[in-house]
Structure 1
Amino acid sequence: MGVAADIRRSLTGGPRPVVREHLARGESEAHALALLMLGCGLVFVGQWPRLMRVAQEEGDDFARLVAYAMLGWMMIWPLVLYGLAALTHGVSRLLGGRGTPFGARLALFWSWLAAAPLGMLTGLLAGLSGSAALANLCGALWIAVFAAFWWSSQREAARGPRAHGV
């Protein structure tokens, strides 16, 4: 299935079946990296309305703000998420998980991508209304959905390769 259909399936029925399918395809670091970069790219683009509002209100240069946001979302956050996936795998193994480092990465990266539409909505609301309560509420929802997806996906990944037919 396509990524958009998988995101819809994750949002409506939970991410576990989707993660199970991705893990059953076998280990492909290129696939995991593509999921991560797509998620970060969506969140980055979703921040443009907020950045335009900031540029207009503060008289700042929009291009400079976008360049800094691109550095953060496309270079720094992927490194942070790779480190977080490694830490998650270590904790999972200490708690008896049988998953692989790749499984922990895939679970985190898929969760990030599946929750990215809410990140885009948060940026849009912040651009339309500034730092209004609605944008903050949407941001909190985005974080909560991401955390719930990550928890569920990591539980699936911790089952180990044999559970996924690999």
Structure 2
Amino acid sequence: MAITSNIAATYRGPGRVITRLLSLGQREDRALMYLMSACIIIFIAQLPRLSREAHLTGQELDMLLGGTLMAWVIIAPLLMYIIAFVARGIGMILRGKGSAYGARLALFWALLASSPLILLHGLTAGFIGPGLELQIVGLLWCVIFFWFWIGGSLAQERGA
């Protein structure tokens, strides 16, 4: 199934999608591709906000872009691996039957599947700016992300 179809299916049932992705076999390159794609999309989503910030404050856009690129494409993936490791540790404590790969896949896929809302958040930050609208979109993204991550984590901890 195509990635876009899987993203749409995740909104209907994140556990089923993670189970289907796990049934394709353990492929670390696939999980890394999901993570890096999500991080690049998040970087792209920041462009309207950074452009607005540079215009309003007089800062150099290049410096803002460089810092954000480093944060999302180099540092964030490393942190996501650490978070997935901790999530798997919690799964082991709770006697889950999942795997470290499944924990990584659930986290990375949740980040990628929630990326349409991250793009909406970036557009809201860039065109509307700080305010209630931005907070609502940010809260919606957080709720959806955690729903996807928890649902996927529970599915992979049950299976294996």
* TM-score computed with the length of structure 1 as normaliser: 0.94
Moved over 2 A (4+): none
Contact 1:42 1:120 in 2 (8 A): yes
Which one-letter code corresponds to 1:7 in the other structure? I
Q: Could you tell me how far apart the structure 2 residues matched to 1:117 and 1:77 are?
A: 18
| Equivalent position SS for 1:83 | helix
Asked if 1:25 corresponds to 2:24, the answer is: yes
Matching residue of 2:6: 6
Matching residue of 2:110: 111
Equivalence map 1:1-166=2 (5 Å): 1-11=1-11, 13-161=12-160
- The CA deviation string for residues 107-163 of structure 1, in whole angstroms up to 9 with x for no partner, is 1100110111111110110000111210111011101110111010000110232xx
| Equivalent position SS for 2:50 | helix
| Equivalent position SS for 2:96 | coil
Q: Could you tell me how far apart the structure 2 residues matched to 1:29 and 1:148 are?
A: 23
Which one-letter code corresponds to 1:3 in the other structure? I
Which one-letter code corresponds to 1:64 in the other structure? M
- The CA deviation string for residues 50-98 of structure 1, in whole angstroms up to 9 with x for no partner, is 0000000001111211111111111111111100000000110110101
CA RMSD of aligned residues (A): 0.8
* TM-score computed with the length of structure 2 as normaliser: 0.97
- The CA deviation string for residues 13-36 of structure 1, in whole angstroms up to 9 with x for no partner, is 121111111100111110000000
Which one-letter code corresponds to 2:41 in the other structure? L
Q: Could you tell me how far apart the structure 2 residues matched to 1:64 and 1:8 are?
A: 35
Which one-letter code corresponds to 1:15 in the other structure? P
What is the count of residue pairs matched by the alignment?
A: 160
Q: Which runs of 5+ in 2 are unaligned?
A: none
| Equivalent position SS for 2:76 | helix
Matching residue of 1:164: none
